[in-house]
Each structure stands twice: as C-alpha cells, then as structure tokens.
A and B are shown apart, each in its own frame.
Chain A
C-alpha cells in the first residue's frame, strides 16, 4: 500500500513548529509537513468525525502557519489598492474583506483577508506564499511599514456552537457580525478576533500572542462543544463550502473572473482598474472568461481528485479538477474544477478520467453545503 500521508504532504528538510505543536502531540494529532509547518492532518477521532463536529458543534483548528502581517502608514489602504483589486478605501474600521494579489496577466498570486483596525491594516495570507507576499508588499508599497507578526498564533474556532463556547471567555465576541474584527480579552489574554473562517460555518479566527496560545487553546478545548480538528477536515469542509484553496483552485494562471471571485473586486475598481492585470480582468468581465470554476458531482462513490481530466461526451477536453474528495456532510464525492465556459452550466454531464476509467460527473452549483455564516 502506498503511504497516504506522503501523498498529501510535501517533504521538506525541517518542518517548523507552531506554538501549539506540543499540544497537538499531546492530543494524538497525526503530524505532517504542511507548507513547511508541522501540523495535524487529523486527531484520533478521524477526519470524518472532526468534519461532522464542525458542522454540528465547534471544531478548533491551528492555522498558525498562515502569515499575519500589519501595514501601517498614511493611506495604506490606497497603497494596497495598487496590488489588490478590491474596494479597500471604504472598508470600515473593524471590518474585513476577502481579496487577492493579481499579476500582470490577471492571474492570482495569493488570496488574503484584509482587515481595518483603528490604526493599521491587518492582513492574513497563505503560509506557502507569505515570504513572497511580504517581499512584494515591501517592494511595492513605499512609505508603508510592512511587519510580519512572527510571534503570534492563529486559531480558528468554527461551527454553529462556536459562538457560545467562545463568548464564555470573550463576551465581547458576541457583538461581532460576519467579517467584523476587534481586539478584546480572551481568557485574560489580549486577542484579535474576527468572525470569519473557511469552513462555511459560523465561527471565529483568533490571533494570539504565541506564548499564551496553548493556555487559551486549552481553555477553549475544555468547553463541551469544542474538539480539535486537523487539516483533513479543514480541507473537506472548505471544499463542501465551495471555497477556493490557493495553489489548487487559484494559481497565477487563473483569473478572478474565471474563479468566480468578481464579487471581491468591487464596482469602482472594475471601472477604474489601477491594479495589476486590470486590462485582462476588465476584458474578461466584458466578454466572459474562456473557462469557469464549477462544482462537480461525481456519480457513484469514487472520489475524483485534483488533476483529473474532464472531457465532454465526445471525448473532447473540457477541463481539469482542481480540488476533489469525499464530502462527509454531502455523503459522497464532491469536486471543483475549471471547465470550458460553453460546458459550465449546472446540470451539464461530463466525464472525469480516474485510473483510466471515464467516470460520469455532473456540473453543479456551489456550495455543496449551504454556508451558515452569522448575519
């Protein structure tokens, strides 16, 4: 049998610890090298149970590998708009917004969350991209101070019961609406908490000083609603929620229009441009993109995974799967991929090549599981 763990990780000489590594070991986490960090792919409960816990109750994830960056300086929002095609000037204090860095061809260099705090912008970027992102910000935002917060942990508490568990330790968190963010005390520790996450459920992302992270995490895990979950459940949850994973569903070769992310660009920015790749993105907005990201529902039980080729009924190339696996809440295989625009309508029948066989798949709307964010 081939080693299943090796197939989901990239080998590196030395994986870095997060501030919660000792706790992961104590909890029996199965540790893998993920984007250069040693993180649990699952705990003894297993991916299926961890996934269901997040849909029904509250799951706690360590996402400390992600990059946390502060931007300070006058008009940092205006400066950042040169790199990110989102409406950042009107982002209110205490609000955050999803966005991405684009290249000159309109492709996506990374996706990110931008938050406005009273005195700074706070952004979270992907672990695998963070070194490049920070260098890029420093090179392109003269006069703006770009600081990576290397002494902080980031945890995500996700699920319909996350709010009741968290507010026992941070009552002020009850006042956060979806995509709001504020600094507040959490179990006596100064924390930066946003109502956001990547599971499709209500939940929170919590930035903490690294040296207090384990103590706070233990307090949250002691709540009856909460149990730890690993990278495996994180991936199946975000796939069911129809959310993109950088390096898979989003790459420098995919544009926001193809990815169905034009909602994150904003009306003024679409009209004005003024970001890398604006010409390509505006053209695709006007004329339609050559391909589109779609949901895919394989018939039968066999998962259709990343890299599988899609073809139409005549055997002609139709696209490629960029994320795929088993959806525990759906109770069957689910996938996402890019499909030629003419074939991208929901209900369209395609075939995915899996181990030499042509498995029928149906183009489906996203998400597979209704997102349940707090209002």
Chain B
C-alpha cells in the first residue's frame, strides 16, 4: 500500500515500489493561484533531497519546487507542458510533476504524514 508524505515546503511524495512520485500540495496550488507553466527536470537527472527540482510559474510569480527525496528522475509529467492548469485542478493527482527512483528510503522518515501536514498547514493560516 502506498502512503503519501509531505514536506514543509508543500511538496508531496508517494512511493509505489521503487518509484516516488512528487508534486505540490493542494495548499501550495491555492497559494500559487493560476499555474501557467511548469519547468520540469530532465529524465535521467539525479536529485538530492531538498535540491531545486522544478519551477512552477503562476500568473504572478515563479516558485521553486524541491526534491522531496533523493533519486534519479525516471519520468516527468509531459501533460503539464500543454496543460499546466492540471496543477490547480488535480494537484495530488494528474498534476504530479516527476517520478524518482528512490535513492534512500530512510529519507521518507523525515517527512510528515497526512495528519501532521494538515496540522502544519493549519498553523500557517
């Protein structure tokens, strides 16, 4: 069974087998507003946990997205090229950013679970 984990920078990561899918949370897309462009990493790139991995551009501003965990990029979400608004409409579904081959499963332990993330966001408002 997969479990979704969350970072304090509002990325989510869902691990299925060796693959970790990364995106930004509903809270993050609400903060961003209308997403108009997503700059994704290249497949094959190796990312360190916390490194800049992607850039998401709303009408107003550009924001960096960080790698929630370390690993090699094995797939990017090509659908975002033509339809960046998927990040707004389905942030934790079809609006995912990229998939990593998980480098160090222990890193997942540093992230929040859904309940902890919910509390975390409540504390920010």
Residue ranges of A at the interface with B (Cβ–Cβ < 8 Å) = 1-5, 7-8, 41-42, 46-48, 51, 232, 235-236, 301-303, 305, 325-326, 328, 333, 355
Contacts and interface: CB of A to CB of B under 8 A. Distances in A.
Contact of A48 (B34, B37, B63, B81): B34
A355 B39 contact: yes
A136 to B, nearest CB: 32
Interface residues of B, number: 26
A232 B36 CA distance: 14
B60 A41 contact: yes
Those 4 A-B pairs whose CB atoms lie nearest each other, nearest first: A48-B34, A326-B36, A47-B59, A4-B61
B59 A1 contact: no
B55 interface: yes
A1 B36 contact: no
Given A232-B60, A325-B60, A4 B37 contact: no
Contact of A232 (B24, B56, B59, B63): B59
Interface string B27-64: 01001111011010000000000000001111111111
Contacts of B92: none
A1 B60 contact: no
Interface in B94-113: none
Contact of B24 (A1, A3, A235): A1
Interface of B: 9-11, 24, 28, 31-34, 36-37, 39, 55-66, 81, 84
A304 to B, nearest CB: 10
A301 B84 CA distance: 10
A301 B57 CA distance: 10
Contacts of A3: 31, 63
14 contacts: A1-B65, A3-B63, A4-B63, A7-B63, A46-B34, A47-B60, A51-B59, A232-B60, A235-B60, A236-B59, A302-B37, A303-B57, A326-B36, A326-B59
Given A1-B63, A2-B9, 13 more contacts: A1-B28, A2-B64, A3-B63, A4-B33, A5-B31, A7-B61, A47-B34, A47-B60, A301-B84, A302-B37, A303-B36, A326-B59, A333-B36
